[in-house]
A and B are shown apart, each in its own frame.
Chain A
Amino acid sequence: MPKDRASASYYEKGEQISAVVTVQKTAAEVYDAWAGLSGLPRFIEELDVVARAGTRALWKGNSHGESFEWESEVLNEEPNRLIAWKASATAPVQNAGSVTLKELPYRRGTEVRVVIDYVPPRGAVADRVNKMMRGDPEELLRIAMFRFRQWMETGEIATTRGQPSARKPGRDEEGSKDEKKIATSAKEGR
């Protein structure tokens, strides 16, 4: 994803990642699915819950055996167009993000663009975060967006976890926590 965006990073010494996908739904349908951030755990497997109370949102989740939690303030919400948030000062990783929606003419769907600014952590926090992320942050965001589209358009997230094979142990992720999570989230139906 090119980094030549017009806007500078939100943080003075921060990084910016972004991803955009087009979803065959109206902006209203997409906006409703995000449900003011509390809908996120349905398609981001690492998140267990995002609890909203007024403009506050509490994010809780775990990844690769490490749990995390932070609080954020919703800065801006415009129905069917955008939602933007910023982590509180106590968050382990300073981050601010936005989702903007652009509905296309002729029922061509809605462009969903996510931009996240963050301050790369250092020291012990960095070690924990790296253990949880295991990959390039922008690629992980892109995977999450593909999964979001799968969820929105089909009601489930494509997976091969738990399928048979004669792969040697360690080469597949069978029986991982993520598998349980996906199976559960899929059952909710839409």
Chain B
Amino acid sequence: MKAACWQGTRDIRIENVPEPRIINPRDILVRVTSTAICGSDLHLYNNKFPGMTKGDIMGHECMGVVVEVGSGIKNLKEGDRVVVPCTIACGACFYCKQGQYSACDNSNPNPVESEKILGYPGCGMFGYAAITGSYAGGQAEYIRVPFGDVGPIKVPEGVPDEQVLFLSDILPTGWMGAANCGVQPGDIVAVWGAGPVGQMAIRSLLVQGAERVIVIDNVQERLDIAARCGAEAFNSDNGDVYEHLLDETGGRGPDACLDAVGMEAHGHGVMDVVDRVKQVVKIETDRPAVLREMFKCVRKAGTISLLGVYGGLVDSLPMGVAFNKGVTFRMGQVRVQALEHMLLDLILKGKIHPDEIITHTIGLDDVADAYNMFNDKTDGCLKVVMKPGMGREPEVRVRSAAKEVVTSRP
């Protein structure tokens, strides 16, 4: 089968690999009908996250049709349409039983690898390096899904892939980040990052009852898409974020700040230079510009919710400011399995439209160009969906919300 494989820095290639097979009784095999590139795939693409081996299959957002189930699977059968969560969860360990699926004890085949680097044994995840188990990912024609009776969620026939695909990761991620803001009536929430996760967080915050959502980015097309669903956009190239937020909140600061940017944040000034140097010499893995800004902006006794992936080490955070303000921090890898049923219901009821952010739909063969475009934010790219069954398409098809943006450019 064809699969998008990691071959080094900024080098993703389609390779011919064997089709997966059932290995454990609770495995299922899925023929992938749609798969997406996630912002966190870019950390691997740019080789900023350790533990990939040349030839590993990428991708942790996918859905498709069940083609085979292991002997231990009772709730799914051949022909079912399912969305596959990005993280793998056993459903039986201490954490899974409490709904903390992304802390699963049993889904990582090499938890010691994670323990050595991070100090704890992390859960398994598709297409994401040694510390999450080096599972083959979903940017391929087929995927083997362990614990297929816990994660994959059945979707009804007749609902297009595009509406439900993001249940795999970014919609529940955005929802969890929003929920971690603990929105109260009247709350103003500031969201850093109008990328795919930021877009999902904005929509989730509005459904959860935020009075106002202010989104900060410097890519105007992304801000425009966010504004169309009800957020107030601020382009950080046009002024000081702190001053803007204080002004917009009557001098208080936002009740909650949500980071949907993470370790590759583009900062300014001397701290950014220091962070970049540290990152190159590998004494700091992450560049925490947004995090520092949120410390400064959040109102006293407010909440900071972290969604952007932080890979490891962060230096020089003004903890004294956070302490004296009495900030609440909430963060964590998404618990897809705890949220997917409720979110599918919201989608089917038309309360949330994840497909609004898709700017490009292509065949799997064009994956290298797609990574390049998404990474460099060219061609108005916000979210790429790949259709392994589509074959080689002569051109990129632009659709959905960003269409006007792309076509109206001079």
Q: Which residues of A contact B (CB under 8 A)?
A: 22, 24, 108-109, 139, 142-143, 146, 149-150, 153-168, 171-172, 182-183, 186-187, 189
Q: Kindly list chain B residues whose C-beta atoms are within 8 Å of the C-beta of A158.
A: 24, 106-109, 124, 133, 146
Task: State whether the Cβ of B112 lies closer than 8 Å to any Cβ in chain A.
Answer: yes
Main secondary structure of the interface of B (DSSP, over half): loop
Knowing A164-B3, A171-B53 touch, does A189 contact B71 (C-beta < 8 A)?
yes
Q: Are B57 and A153 in contact (CB under 8 A)?
A: no
A-B residue pairs, 5 tightest by C-beta = A167-B55, A166-B55, A166-B15, A164-B17, A158-B109
Q: Are A153 and B90 in contact (CB under 8 A)?
A: yes
**Which B residue sits closest to A136, measured CB to CB?**
B112
| 9 A-B pairs with C-beta separation under 8 A | A24-B97, A153-B90, A153-B106, A156-B24, A158-B107, A158-B124, A159-B23, A160-B136, A164-B18
Q: Are A162 and B106 in contact (CB under 8 A)?
A: no
User: How far is it, in angstroms, between the C-alpha of A163 and the C-alpha of B126 when the chains are bound?
Assistant: 12
User: How far is it, in angstroms, between the C-alpha of A186 and the C-alpha of B70 when the chains are bound?
Assistant: 11
Q: Are B17 and A186 in contact (CB under 8 A)?
A: no
Q: Digitize B147-160: 1 where CB-to-A-CB distance is under 8 Å, 0 elsewhere.
A: 10000000000000
Knowing A142-B112, A164-B19, A164-B136 touch, does A186 contact B25 (C-beta < 8 A)?
yes
Measured between C-beta atoms, what is the minimum distance from B114 to chain A in Å?
Answer: 10
Task: State whether the Cβ of B21 lies closer than 8 Å to any Cβ in chain A.
Answer: yes
**Which B residue sits closest to A165, measured CB to CB?**
B55
Q: Are A155 and B25 in contact (CB under 8 A)?
A: yes
Q: Are A166 and B3 in contact (CB under 8 A)?
A: yes
Main secondary structure of the interface of A (DSSP, over half): loop
Knowing A149-B106, A158-B107, A166-B55 touch, does A183 contact B92 (C-beta < 8 A)?
no
Measured between C-beta atoms, what is the minimum distance from A168 to chain B in Å?
Answer: 6
Q: Kindly list chain A residues whose C-beta atoms are within 8 Å of the C-beta of B90.
A: 150, 153-154
Select B112's contact among A143, A155, A182, beta carbons within 8 Å. Answer: A143
Q: Are B105 and A153 in contact (CB under 8 A)?
A: yes
**Which A residue sits closest to B150, measured CB to CB?**
A154
Measured between C-beta atoms, what is the minimum distance from B72 to chain A in Å?
Answer: 7
Measured between C-beta atoms, what is the minimum distance from A141 to chain B in Å?
Answer: 10
Q: Knowing that A160-B134, A164-B18 are A-B contacts, what are 18 other residue pairs whose CB atoms are under 8 Å apart, sorted by A's residue number?
A: A109-B94, A154-B26, A154-B91, A156-B24, A157-B24, A158-B108, A158-B133, A158-B146, A160-B136, A163-B135, A164-B3, A164-B57, A164-B136, A165-B53, A166-B17, A167-B54, A171-B55, A186-B23
Q: Kindly list chain B residues whose C-beta atoms are within 8 Å of the C-beta of A160.
A: 109, 133-136
User: How far is it, in angstroms, between the C-alpha of A146 and the C-alpha of B121 when the chains are bound?
Assistant: 9
Q: Kindly list chain B residues whose C-beta atoms are within 8 Å of the C-beta of A187.
A: 25, 71
Q: Are B24 and A186 in contact (CB under 8 A)?
A: yes
Q: Kindly list chain B residues whose C-beta atoms are within 8 Å of the C-beta of A183.
A: 23-24
Q: Kindly list chain A residues whose C-beta atoms are within 8 Å of the C-beta of B216.
A: none
Measured between C-beta atoms, what is the minimum distance from B146 to chain A in Å?
Answer: 6
User: How far is it, in angstroms, between the C-alpha of A160 and the C-alpha of B24 when the chains are bound?
Assistant: 10
User: How far is it, in angstroms, between the C-alpha of A175 and the C-alpha of B24 when the chains are bound?
Assistant: 15
Select A159's contact among B18, B21, B24, beta carbons within 8 Å. Answer: B24
Q: Are A162 and B105 in contact (CB under 8 A)?
A: no
Q: Kindly list chain A residues whose C-beta atoms are within 8 Å of the C-beta of B21.
A: 162
Q: Kindly list chain A residues whose C-beta atoms are within 8 Å of the C-beta of B94.
A: 22, 24, 108-109
Q: Digitize B1-18: 1 where CB-to-A-CB distance is under 8 Å, 0 elsewhere.
A: 101010000000001111
Q: Kindly list chain B residues whose C-beta atoms are within 8 Å of the C-beta of A150.
A: 90, 105-106
Task: State whether the Cβ of B111 lies closer than 8 Å to any Cβ in chain A.
Answer: yes
User: How far is it, in angstroms, between the C-alpha of A150 and the C-alpha of B18 when the chains are bound?
Assistant: 27
Chain B CB within 10 Å, residue with most, of A149, A155, A160, A189: A160
Select B55's contact among A109, A149, A168, beta carbons within 8 Å. Answer: A168
